[in-house]
Amino acid sequence: MTLTLADRPRVLAVDDDEMSLMVLEKILGDEYELVKVHSGAEGMQILKAQTFDLVLLDYLMPDLDGMTMLRQLRARLETSEVPIIMLTGDMTAEREAEGFRAGVTDFLHKPFIPDVLRLRVQRILRYEYLQSQLEQEVARQTALANARLQTSQRIFNQVVLALAQTVDVKDHYTHGHSERVAQYAQEISRRLGDDASTQARIHSIAMLHDIGKIGIPAHIINKPTRLTDEQYALIQSHTTLGAEILQTVREFPELAVGARSHHERWDGHGYPDGLAGEAIPRMARIIAVADAYDAMTSRRSYRDPLPQAVVHAEIAKGRGTQFDPLFADIMLQMIEEDTDFTMRDTGH
């Protein structure tokens, strides 16, 4: 840092010796805005009202000695980081060690050597300036990185929503299905005690759990009569097709896992892999119960939404067979709390 009269650093000199203050004024007065006080108590008072870039603090003073004042300054949040040079005419190794332990920045010996004093003050203020600039730059770069991350996250969320809506458009009877499943899955995650990041990831995974239906003909998805075995097998293939589509998202592999495994059953009788119990990925077990709930509370091509009591009974029936018991219990709790039956498709 090049010090100029236009931006003179503020320096507080605290010393009960008038001659020392006069010498400091003569050496530093042209280059710095020097404020002089004659006691530790006066120094503490002015430091509570004003800010300084550097404090020159005499070690020996009658009312409030330099070491006591140093400790008080370091204990205050406002002065905990201000650089402090201790002035002393009687330096010992013990005194120096005590000062550094208490938080002094440096020591200067009396009588002052002008060039040493100037260079020592310049070095400390230059370091403080560079440190401040570094902290500001780190803060600026962090803010920029966070802004870019937030922008990327918004774009990602918008793409996920667009893809989910593309899937839902194919089924005339399940508008908003993916969004509702994602909301239910995220709420289950929240009630499990997951952090906000995990909840957000589960929401995204659930949003795209049915992405594989993009590859299933709409006339089969919307068929109002019973499916043939071949057609049912084609419907089931949306899990593997979805996993194939999403496995290209290498930075978020759980997306493919959620798409592939959300129709697995706790008892091992699900598809496509026949996984059982905790061998089924956790996020897929959460999505499974949220997906089943929304399927029962939505209008289908072959039936109206089921009454809430029937849905509760079906979830309870599937506890420990179709669903992870813990996640089923949380879903049942959510149903019981939803006394107005708002957790359902209200678009039809």
Catalytic residues: 213
**First vs last Cα of the chain: how many Å apart?**
69
- Can you tell me the distance from the alpha carbon of 146 to that of 205, in angstroms, rounded to the nearest whole number? 23
Residue pair 40/68 in contact (Cβ under 8 Å)? The answer is: yes
At 7, list the tokens.
């931006």
- Can you tell me the distance from the alpha carbon of 82 to that of 105, in angstroms, rounded to the nearest whole number? 9
3-class DSSP state of 245? helix
What region does 120 belong to: left with phi over 0, alpha with psi -120 to 50, or beta? Answer: alpha
3-class DSSP state of 75? helix
CB neighbourhood size of 332 (10 A): 19
Query: Which residues on neighbouring strands pair with residue 107, listed in sequence order?
Result: 86
At 36, list the tokens.
């002089």
